[in-house]
Structure 1
Amino acid sequence: MIRLTLLVGLWLAGASATQAQPFGKLVKKMPGMVSYTLRESFSKDVPGTLDKVKAWGITDIEFSGLFGKTAPELRALLDQRGLTCSSYGVSYDAIANKPDSILQNAKALGVKYIRIGSIPHKSAATLEMMQQAAEVFNRFGKQAHEQGVMFCYHNHGFEFQPYENGTLFDYLVKQTNPEYVGYEMDVTWTYLPGQDPAALLMKYPKRFRLIHLKDVQKGVARNDKGSMANEECVVLGTGQIDWPSVLKAVNKSSIEHLYIEDESKAAEQQVPKSLAYLKSL
């Protein structure tokens, strides 16, 4: 009995040590992935795509949709593979008009975060647009908080219009309750509009909870469109982003989940290379 207890203790210690091993010096653990990265594959074969993600060593996924599954069905497929969905991406309209169904899905998926990808707009950001969004975010954020979920807004580039001594993004952050509303930085949609992602993380270290790791091809001009050609999304470390600076800021922030988002049609070839780059830092 003593010997068995000792063996079990040694095994548990070894398992704990294995789990505690860092992914890299700057990126402490294996990052997750946004489902949009493999959107075409997910739309055709959810189980097979999950197997592909797991084969890369990724176990954490932010789903931007359910790909024809119900939330319980998707949760079952994840559980079968030891995968988790930590963040659930929905639309602005959904949080404004269908909060109950969104929160029901979130509970079924077991997520800690619900996020939206942008504020609907057909023009440059306006103060009125941000005022309305702040009201929606605070209202839904409170509802989500009561269910044990944090709401996050994912910036999409257009929010960085100048306003007073900063930008309309600054205004949005200040007008939202930090207890109910967090933020998800998209590094590329922060960088291309002329912002410094690392500096913004340091400015709001406790507001950002999630981050999209996405790089942009060298030579692509600065803009606030929040879109680029597929081929302009490149392997991390080969584009314009200063990743060491960004990741050092991440480590001083409240960010809990890092997700690789690769919009390229060559994402299946690029994601393993991006992982290797992050581990090498």
Structure 2
Amino acid sequence: MTSRRSFIKATTLASAGLLIRPSALLPVSSRYIGLQLYTVRDAMQQNAAGTLQRVAGLGYNAVEGATYTGTQQFYGMNAKAFAALLKQQGLVMPSSHYRLGAEKMKGADVKGTMLHGWDKAVDDAATVGIQYMVCAFLSPQERGNPDHYKQLAADFNKAGETCKKAGIQFCYHNHDFEFQQQNGQYPYDILLHDTDAGLVKMEMDIYWVTRAGMDPVKLMNEHRGRFPLWHVKDMDSTPERKFTEVGSGTINFKNIFKHAQEAGLKYFFVEEDKCPGDPFASIAKSIGYIKKNLV
């Protein structure tokens, strides 16, 4: 199983042209500007091929997946078919989101999660050319006290070991609940300190870190090399602190991007969980700002 996964991974990356030498990586690589496909989730469900074509037409050349769990397919397609679609549109998908799987669906275990069917998920990720498999979210039922987060850290290490055998890096994506203290501890600190830094890295959602009152740059400097992936979305100045297009809000991305090397950044993805209107108008505005000001 492992040797097959490693072979698929190597040949897929080679055919997609993704084998990047470390010397070729800039602090922020201008080679890739990514989009988290959750931003255009409705369009992806209706017409995945047409949506990816529009995304590429706006100038994005990388995407991050937001669906697999439960169906064990990528937007209704098996791994081979979805990989072919990405190639057809000139896109790469270096990262994709997954779920823990402790929460049941209609009383049944959810396949394609870290706890149920992870081997197949890793196989399929290798086929698509995914380099990072990311735990996207912990539902309220999957959270708990500090001891529970220590157990989650062990679960993440185990998932990371399986990923590593296939040449894939496991990551965890934060929201803001991880920065709510419990017995004087932040759950996020537990996850950082109780996971193996080689097996478990972090996808920093800069919006949620900022909303939680934390300093993204401080985290990057305290845990250098731990944040190869970023989610880039802005926060407006209203009391609700809503999501907004990159460059339209209050987050100082120009300063944050100066610290990409300390973070260990490899890829970043524009994400806007809720857009005020047409998501394609929002992502066009974001990439315009990014190209002009950040890369």
CA distance in 1, matches of 2:203, 2:191: 13
1:50 aligned onto 2:62: no
1:245 aligned onto 2:255: yes
Letter matched to residue 247 of structure 1: F
1:111 aligned onto 2:119: no
Which aligned pairs between 1:32-111 and structure 2 lie closer than 5 A? Answer: 32-65=34-67, 66-93=74-101, 94-111=113-130
SS at match of 2:164: helix
Residues 63 and 266 (structure 1 numbering): CA distance in 2 closer, same or farther, change over 3 Å? same
Match of 1:178 in 2: 197
CA distance in 2, matches of 1:164, 1:242: 32
Which aligned pairs between 1:190-201 and structure 2 lie closer than 5 A? Answer: 190-201=209-220
Q: TM-score, normalised by structure 2?
A: 0.79
Letter matched to residue 281 of structure 2: Q
Match of 2:230 in 1: 211
1:233 aligned onto 2:246: no
Match of 1:149 in 2: 168
Alpha-carbon offset, residue 27 of structure 1: 6.7
Match of 1:274 in 2: 286
Match of 2:152 in 1: 133
SS at match of 2:119: helix
SS at match of 1:82: coil
With 123-132 and 93-102 compared, the bigger mean Cα shift is at 123-132
Structure 2 unaligned blocks of 5 or more: 1-25, 68-73, 102-112
1:129-185 per-residue CA deviation (whole Å, 9 max, x = no partner) reads 311210110001011101100000000110112357762211210100011111000
CA distance in 2, matches of 1:80, 1:177: 37
Alpha-carbon offset, residue 118 of structure 1: 1.6
Contact 2:34 2:62 in 1 (8 A): yes
SS at match of 2:272: coil
Contact 2:207 2:235 in 1 (8 A): yes
Alpha-carbon offset, residue 124 of structure 1: 7.2
Which aligned pairs between 1:12-27 and structure 2 lie closer than 5 A? Answer: none
Alpha-carbon offset, residue 251 of structure 1: 3.5
The alignment yields a C-alpha RMSD, in angstroms, of: 2.3
SS at match of 1:208: coil
SS at match of 1:252: helix
1:77-125 per-residue CA deviation (whole Å, 9 max, x = no partner) reads 0112221110121111101222111111101111111001122324975
Letter matched to residue 200 of structure 1: L
Letter matched to residue 187 of structure 2: L
Alpha-carbon offset, residue 220 of structure 1: 3.4
Contact 2:29 2:267 in 1 (8 A): no
Match of 1:10 in 2: none
1:215-251 per-residue CA deviation (whole Å, 9 max, x = no partner) reads 12212357xxxxxxxxx32111111211112111223
Q: TM-score, normalised by structure 1?
A: 0.83
SS at match of 2:212: coil
Structure 1 unaligned blocks of 5 or more: 1-23, 223-231
Contact 2:145 2:182 in 1 (8 A): no
SS at match of 1:33: strand
Alpha-carbon offset, residue 199 of structure 1: 1.6
